[in-house]
Amino acid sequence: MSTSIDLLSFSPPPSSMLSRTQFSFTHKPTFLLSSKKESFFTLRASAADNGAGVSAPAVTVEEPKVREASEGPTESNGAVEAPEVKAVNKFEDPKWVNGTWDLKQFQKNGQTDWDAVIDAEARRRKWLENNPESSSNDDPVIFDTSIVPWWAWIKRFHLPEAELLNGRAAMIGFFMAYLVDSLTGVGLVDQMSNFFCKTLLFVAVVGVLLIRKNEDIETLKKLLEETTFYDKQWQATWQDETTSGTKKE
């Protein structure tokens, strides 16, 4: 049951996506055209691109090389060229064999200790996040989280919470049944065959799953805002149309 919540509340609040709604970064695209190319775009390419009518493509080809020559060593720009700079930038673990966790090494009492596998993979991903690794075709990663059976995930991530959620759902359900009964006089048994009451039950369950903490309300609100944000941009033309459409009559 806990699945749907996870889908909606991606654990780290995705600040990047949410903040996009504000136009904080929106300087006009035309800025690129304007002469002040102060930022990182000291690129010849964009200059050539903006160059009106004529420009010598030969220059464009030459320039980056110069840049690379001058900046290369300082910026480790030579990543393409200098293989010996970072040779050990690879995740290493005795249990990580040929691109997967060697399950034989995770045996405990004759059975695979899935908890340990999850721990190990979490550690690996954490490590990779800080040290992004070059992909390689000779040494592919074949570990897939789906080989960990579902009950291992449930046991680990859902059970500690299950008690709380079930208890909360039961209490809300009971209270709502009582409320409906007292307001309408429809008894508990009759409520079960009533469409409205079924809907109410559904809302209660979903609500319990979605709103686990107070912050979740805020998150959900933001999500809703975000999903409809660009609709306004599309609609702008249409709304414009209806206003002018009324004008024309």
Partner 1 sequence: MASMALKSFTGLRQSPQEQQHPHFIAQALPRQQKFRVSAAKTSPKLTNRNLRVAVIGGGPAGGAAAETLAQNGVETFLIERKLDNCKPCGGAIPLCMVGEFDLPLDIIDRKVTKMKMISPSNVAVDIGQTLKPHEYIGMVRREVLDAYLRERAEKNGASVINGLFMKMDLPRNFEQPYVLYYTEYDGTKGGVGEKRTLEVDAVIGADGANSRVAKSINAGDYDYAIAFQERVKIPDEKMVYYENLAEMYVGDDVSPDFYGWVFPKCDHVAVGTGTVTHKGDIKKFQLATRNRAKDKILGGKIIRVEAHPIPEHPRPRRLSGRVALVGDAAGYVTKCSGEGIYFAAKSGRMCAEAIIEGSENGTRMIDEGDLRKYLEKWDKTYWPTYKVLDVLQKVFYRSNPAREAFVEMCADEYVQKMTFDSYLYKRVVPGNPLEDLKLAVNTIGSLVRANALRREMDKLTI
Question: Contacts with partner 1 in 26-55 (CB under 8 A)?
Answer: 26, 28-30, 32-33, 39-41, 43-46, 49, 51-55
Number of other residues whose CB lies within 10 A of the CB of residue 108 = 10
Q: What phi-psi label fits residue 156: left (phi over 0), alpha (psi between -120 and 50 degrees) or beta?
A: alpha
Question: Please, which of residues 59-98 interact with partner 1 by CB under 8 A?
Answer: 60-61, 63-65, 67-68, 75-77, 79-81, 83
Q: How far is the CB of 148 from partner 1 (least distance, A)?
A: 7
120 or 208, CB closer to partner 1? Answer: 120
User: Of the listed pieces 161-169, 200-208, 211-219, 229-237, which binds partner 1 according to CB under 8 A?
Assistant: 229-237
- β partners of residue 96: 101
- Rule CB under 8 A: is residue 246 a binding residue for partner 1? no
| 45 contacts: CB under 8 Å, gap ≥ 6 | 60
Q: Does 126 bind partner 1 (CB under 8 A)?
A: yes
Asked if 222 and 215 touch (Cβ cutoff 8 Å), the reply is no
Please list every residue from 170 through 199 that binds partner 1, using CB under 8 A. none
Q: Which of 70, 73, 151, 157 binds partner 1 (CB under 8 A)?
A: 157
Total binding residues for partner 1 by CB under 8 A? 96
- Binding of partner 1 by 121 (CB under 8 A): yes
Q: Between 159-184 and 195-210, two packed helices, what is the crossing angle to 10 degrees? A: 150
Residue (144 or 182) nearer to partner 1, CB: 144
State the burial class of residue 98 (Cβ atoms within 10 Å of its Cβ: 0-12, 13-18, 19+). exposed
User: Taking CA 44 as the corner, what is the angle to CA 75 and CA 69, rounded to the nearest 5 degrees?
Assistant: 35
